[in-house]
Structure 1
Amino acid sequence: GLRSEYIPDPHADVGHCVHRLAMHPSRPEVLFMQKHWDVMRSNDGGDSWHEVSGNLPTDFGFVIDVHAHEPDTIYVVPIKSDAEHFPIDGKLQVWRSRSGGQEWEPLTKGLPQSNCYVNVLRDAMAVDTLDSCGVYFGTTGGQVYASADAGDTWNAIVRDLPPVLSVEVQTLA
């Protein structure tokens, strides 16, 4: 089920540009992948894949993550293209699917909606395991955004860092 138009054999078993894989611990056989030009899903541990880009404005991006308590809820940050690594129309958006990738909705409340030309790299998104499932991501512009309500609203919790390459959530006992 994998294809990549930009490699010599678009249907080859190897050579695909995988940006990030994600899974929910309760369903290790279900994998989600953000690759160079597709958002993909596997229901059999990666033996076969199908595209779940649905109504995303673009299927290019780097991050993908899964809600801590809802295994069919996934998050991506679409980027304009492989040549232009910034949000479409300068509007930073996280997109959420609560249907395993069939339908997507933009999450924008609290995110910059004009003149935002940052990128969100492969390891720059994380979720926590709190009851409401926090979602966090960092940008190449040095901002870290957090949502305490599974993506419904966002706040910039850090500004003016160097480019954020990775975000990790530590749960304190």
Structure 2
Amino acid sequence: MQHHNGVFRSTDAGLHWEDIQNAAPSVFGFAVAVHPEDPDTAWLVPAVKDETRVPVDAKVVVARTRDGGRSWAVLREGLPQEHAYDITYRHALDVDASNDRLAFGSTTGSLWTTENQGDAWQAISHHLPPIHCVRFEA
């Protein structure tokens, strides 16, 4: 779970929560997707905290953990790396049933997909209305 106060993880259906303090490049943001079969793998779309609400350093990235939040890879291939002000809402990041494909959209109408768990992203569009939700059909 990612929200205004940080990134948190529960392994007991929400009875107890662990504060993940080292999510890179920021613990603030809204969008989180968890691998459907591996709960230690998750993706976040981070941002600068409430005062600004833009991507960190004006670069759109996706952070991925494969060890339950102990370490993070910052994935940026194919994503804008300068003058980017795309924020991703809570429901605008999803992983499909193959566990490899993800998609996320932004408040500025950009939509990206990946076929390899986020290692490389492709832009689908930069001209949609603000994207509030992204979902794959089952």
TM-score (norm 2): 0.94
1:59 counterpart letter in structure 2: V
Change (3 A) 1:163 1:66: same
Deviates more, 1:33-42 or 1:112-121: 33-42
Cα distance in structure 2, aligned partners of 1:112 and 1:69: 30
Cα pair 2:25 2:63 within 8 Å, conserved: no
Task: Indicate which of 57, 72, 86 corresponds to 1:104.
Answer: 72
2:109 counterpart letter in structure 1: G
CA RMSD of aligned residues (A): 1.2
Cα pair 2:4 2:49 within 8 Å, conserved: no
**Structure 1 residue runs of 4+, over 3 Å off?**
none
Number of aligned residues: 138
In structure 1, the residue matched to 2:84 is 116
Cα pair 1:128 1:169 within 8 Å, conserved: yes
Cα pair 1:69 1:129 within 8 Å, conserved: no
1:127 counterpart letter in structure 2: V
Task: Indicate which of 54, 72, 79 corresponds to 2:22.
Answer: 54
Work out which structure has the larger RCO, using CA pairs closer than 8 Å and 6 or more positions apart in sequence.
2
Q: CA deviation at 1:55?
A: 4.4
Task: Indicate which of 94, 105, 112 corresponds to 1:145.
Answer: 112
Q: CA deviation at 1:71?
A: 2.2
Task: Indicate which of 66, 81, 85 corresponds to 2:49.
Answer: 81
Cα distance in structure 1, aligned partners of 2:70 and 2:92: 24
Identity of paired residues, percent? 38
In structure 2, the residue matched to 1:43 is 11
* Bigger Rg, which one: 1
Cα distance in structure 1, aligned partners of 2:23 and 2:30: 17
2:27 counterpart letter in structure 1: D
Which residues of structure 1 form unaligned runs of 5+?
1-32
Which residues of structure 2 form unaligned runs of 5+?
none
SS, match of residue 57 in structure 2? helix
Cα pair 2:7 2:23 within 8 Å, conserved: no
Task: Indicate which of 32, 38, 50 corresponds to 1:64.
Answer: 32
Q: CA deviation at 1:59?
A: 0.8
Task: Indicate which of 127, 141, 144 corresponds to 2:95.
Answer: 127
